[in-house]
Structure 1
Amino acid sequence: MTKLDHAFAQIDGHDLDPDADFSLPGWIYADPEFAQLEIDRIFRPSWQIVCHVSEVANAGDYQTIEYAGESVVVIRGDDGQVRAFTNACRHRAMRLVEGPAGCAKKLVCPYHAWVYETDGRLTGVPMKGEYPALKLEDNGLAPVALEIWHGFIFVRLEDAGFPSVAEMMAPFEAEVSQYRFADLRPMAPVRLRPRDVNWKNVGDNYSDNLHIPVAHDGLTRLVGKTYKIEAHGWADRLTGDVIKNDKQNFWEKVYGAHMPRVDHLPEAAHGRWLYYKLWPNMAFDIYADQIDFMQWIPTGPTTCILREVAYCLPDDRREMKAVRYANWRINRNVNAEDTWLISRVQQGMASKSYGTGPIAKSEVCLRSFAKKIRALIPEARQPFAPTKGWSREGLERVRASV
């Protein structure tokens, strides 16, 4: 059994986690060495959502994503196939495209005008005879693994054994299928929001159930005591059912009172706020009126960027427009409350007095996430930071033992 296989066995519950009753330590929310190990062991091998197939509907349409030190472009070829490549010319590594989206018949390097087809082939090189070692067939764009799940496009930089998106979401296939993800269309372009917090703080807060009645008055008025969380291996499921009461504000009442009938959804789904958090940093917020995705991408040990897009099925009914606006008003407040919370937690993590904290049995999603992190980076079991240079010393010990 390889080290990675053993880590997965721990994650799957075959080995008991001796630290199960404790949170992840504060130092790993700011440590540069730990952050680099996360890039190598978590983010490069994990699937990351890029866009929906409807956003690359025509030949040459492309979308980009930047993470883990890479820029990836997803583009639809002239043959109709969607592919992904690293956004770097094979000559001098120049970025081929800029911005989050666009359309191009060919990808032409703005540095030296090398030309690539939409399927990644290199077909044009000015002064080609000046390059003795050049073989066009060996210098196409570097491919990136791609998976399309219910119309959403995901990419992965490396394969280290993490499950596919379909495998992560397999326990919820019947539920997800009701929402017709493949038919969705974006409501607006992708939005990027920088945050001065470690990426794990965003994810921890997303799946934390105990803070809802304490810190989210509006959400509590909307769903009452119906809010529940479940951990399912590589994906978490969170739900709350909209209720009606006199304490709700105007927009909360609008949402509960005016949701129109959506014929393809069962009655229970009309008032259900359904959330899925996928390993390691993605989430779908699913409502009868729209579907949002959000991912929190690390940009440094104490910074990240939130990448968000809202999608919906075409529906021009006035009631649906009103409900979607009410949804935005409600969640705008929830997001502002969460931003305040995670920023204060990040500040607290910097205290040398904080090691790990006790974790409740009901915090099943936090327990599941912490177990994965500890399995993949065992130093996360240490309550306080090791001596600077610890990650390099550990690698040298491993090499010496081989």
Structure 2
Amino acid sequence: MSNKEDDGVVAAVARTIENDPQDGWSLPAWVYSDPDYFAAEMARVIRPSWQVVCHVSDVPVAGDWHTLAYADESILVVRGNDMAVRAFTNVCRHRGSRLVDGASGCAKKLVCPYHAWTYDLDGRLTGVPAKRDYPMLDMAASGLTPVDLEIWHGFVFVRLERGGPSVASMMAPYETLVAPYRFEDMRAIGRVTQRPRAVNWKNVADNYSDGLHIPVAHPGLTRLFGKGYGIEAEAHVDRMWGALIDEPSASRSERMYQEILPRVDHLPEASQRLWLYFKLWPNVAFDIYPDQIDFMQFIPVSPTKTLIREISYALPDARREMKAARYLNWRINRQVNLEDTALIQRVQDGMASPSFTVGPLGESEVCLRAFCCKMRQLIPESRMERQPAAGWSHRCSVSDVK
């Protein structure tokens, strides 16, 4: 980023931190396992936030659909006959049945498997068996319930409740950095994988934006980046990055990746050997490499369970060197994922001890500090070191904290 953009990032984070008297301290351990806190953050943090469903290339023709399950909802993204992409709750307006099953598919019409109510691909209710039985039914008002949708550089985002900035505005400070990668032209490589983890989603998110553990727990990344790993926090996005160094790694896979990674002509010189990471508030991440990108979501399932959902995308490139680089990238990051899995489990286990309440955050831990400040703003109970009596989330509405 330019110096002017850097100053804007620092100012945005500084404003957040200035208003938080508990800046410099982590969230208390109890918020990583408490059912009431989980209910509060699902309502105040997750439901109003943007979530990735798929890429427009995953729904190329009319009738193609993808689903995403989170926050007790199933969201259906479908391309209509007019080629527009829309999102709806995956719920029939008759008796509440799920309309489609599975992660993806294709249909000429959306037909409920319970009573065969039929919807067009644009969500309109077009068919009701025994329609005369429903004299009060307003067909025009009984279409599928729409969900907010935004397409950002080809990626389809949805959110359950309005409020807050668009994805484009969240990522605006990094637009010039992201644009050359040509996300819109990418296609999926592989398939969506879902990895359950017995930890709170915030422990996954914290770990993703933590820079201090890289030289301690990720020897492979340290061999690749040296001491050049950086982090910064914008108002709604964390950015992390590391540039491949010239010194050959002692690991064969890493060394081969350093040697084989081919030039990508549409990328600027500074991005040719850059590994770039973005975490969009609060739980969506993009890992951007010269050879491919990965998106990852930390989907909350319960106070102590998270589903990590991820898939890779890349531009078509038949070069043998590129195919090899993508395979080596997968091998390198498979090891990183194994290391991170062990780390987040250690933290979740340790937080169960009554001896731990809150921990200090250093001035360099700007991403974690910003995350904690935002959580304290949205859920003031986050300021309490000790867990309040059960049922508190039902006694405090969202309006009480605005």
Which range, TM-score by smaller chain? over 0.9
Instruction: Report the Cα offset of residue 390 of structure 1.
Output: 2.1
Instruction: Report the Cα offset of residue 10 of structure 1.
Output: 9.7
Q: Which amino acid aligns with 1:19?
A: Q
Q: Which amino acid aligns with 1:205?
A: N
CA pair 114-12 structure 1, distance change in 2 beyond 3 A: farther
Structure 1 residue 43 corresponds to structure 2 residue 49: no
Q: Which amino acid aligns with 1:335?
A: N
Aligned to 1:18: 21
Aligned with residue 34 of structure 2, among 31, 36, 48: 31
Q: Distance in 2 between matches of 1:256 and 1:54?
A: 30
Query: What per-residue deviation string (whole Å, max 9, x for no partner) do you get for residues 312-361 of structure 1?
Result: 00001000011101100000000000000001110111111111001110
Aligned with residue 338 of structure 2, among 331, 336, 339: 336
Stretches of structure 1 that go unaligned for 5 or more consecutive residues are: 1-8
Contact (CA 8 Å) 2:224, 2:244: kept in 1 or not? yes
The TM-score, its normalising length taken from structure 1, stands at 0.94
Q: Distance in 2 between matches of 1:83 and 1:11?
A: 37
Query: What per-residue deviation string (whole Å, max 9, x for no partner) do you get for residues 102-122 of structure 1?
Result: 100100000000100000000
DSSP 3-state at the match of 1:239: strand
Query: What per-residue deviation string (whole Å, max 9, x for no partner) do you get for residues 161-211 of structure 1?
Result: 311100110000001001000000000221111111000000000000110
Aligned with residue 369 of structure 2, among 339, 342, 367: 367
Q: Which amino acid aligns with 2:153?
A: H
Structure 1 residue 273 corresponds to structure 2 residue 263: no
Note the aligned Cα RMSD (angstroms).
1.7
DSSP 3-state at the match of 1:111: coil
CA pair 296-345 structure 1, distance change in 2 beyond 3 A: same
Contact (CA 8 Å) 2:17, 2:23: kept in 1 or not? no
Aligned with residue 97 of structure 2, among 91, 94, 99: 94
Identity value in percent? 60
Query: Which aligned segments of 4 or more residues in structure 1 are displaced greater than 4 angstroms?
Result: 9-12, 395-399
Structure 1 residue 152 corresponds to structure 2 residue 160: no
Aligned to 1:134: 137
DSSP 3-state at the match of 1:158: coil
Aligned to 1:324: 326
Question: How many residues in Structure 1 have an aligned counterpart in Structure 2?
Answer: 390
Aligned to 2:191: 189
Contact (CA 8 Å) 2:253, 2:328: kept in 1 or not? yes
Stretches of structure 2 that go unaligned for 5 or more consecutive residues are: 1-11
Contact (CA 8 Å) 1:47, 1:155: kept in 2 or not? yes
CA pair 193-142 structure 1, distance change in 2 beyond 3 A: same
Aligned with residue 386 of structure 1, among 376, 385, 388: 388
Q: Which amino acid aligns with 1:359?
A: L
Query: What per-residue deviation string (whole Å, max 9, x for no partner) do you get for residues 56-91 of structure 1?
Result: 110000110011110000000001100000000000
Q: Distance in 2 between matches of 1:79 and 1:395?
A: 41
CA pair 131-183 structure 1, distance change in 2 beyond 3 A: same
CA pair 144-194 structure 1, distance change in 2 beyond 3 A: same
Q: Distance in 1 between matches of 2:249 and 2:262?
A: 23
Q: Which amino acid aligns with 1:117?
A: D
Q: Which amino acid aligns with 1:308?
A: E
Q: Which amino acid aligns with 2:117?
A: W
Contact (CA 8 Å) 1:11, 1:372: kept in 2 or not? no
**Aligned pairs for 1:3-402 within 5 A:** 12-13=15-16, 15-159=18-162, 161-395=163-397
Q: Distance in 2 between matches of 1:128 and 1:56?
A: 32
Aligned to 2:5: none
Instruction: Report the Cα offset of residue 257 of structure 1.
Output: 0.8
